[in-house]
Structure 1
Amino acid sequence: MAQVAHEMRAGVEDQIAELKKEVARLSRSLSARANETAGDAGEALEAGTKRTLQVVRQMRDQAHVAADAARARPGTSALAAIGLVGLAAGLIYAASARR
């Protein structure tokens, strides 16, 4: 009886040791993947930041051109503003009608 209990205990201890090894292996693998993902996210963030800065720069330039055109032709600018307000109102109405 003592021999059987000893063998069972040894078997359980072996299983525990194998499980600890497996947990350690999975932990290393998860850590490596987390590092890769963090690196990829950092690269994506950097690329997105660069693209955002480019878009902001371009929008600023276009705003300056639009402001210059508005100063040169105030009547046309007022008509364009009214058109944009109408377009925005139409889009808002269409969006609310879908709900």
Structure 2
Amino acid sequence: MDFQHNFEIAFPELIDSFKSYAAEMTVSEIRHLMLAKLGFNNKEMARTLGVSESAIRVTWSRIRKKLNLSQEETAISLINRILENKEVISN
């Protein structure tokens, strides 16, 4: 909870943007995007969350499948698209 609170302070409304973009994303999938936004690689994410790197890869795979993303898509490019989408809607 502290992590999410601090993340929201650093990146206001980003979590809501994730949820608005894809309401079906789970807490784990949103956390994955939050950590990617902070620049964490898979190994760092795994260490931070106390899970295996394969669990991190599975989470990203589920995000890609859920959102029909290509294999070349990265978490950062997805985050950038979500932010661009938010700006378009705001204007």
| Both structures adopt the same fold (TM-score exceeding 0.5) | no
TM-score by length of 2: 0.22
* Higher alpha-carbon Rg: 1
TM-score by length of 1: 0.21
Going by fraction, where is helix more abundant, 1 or 2? 1
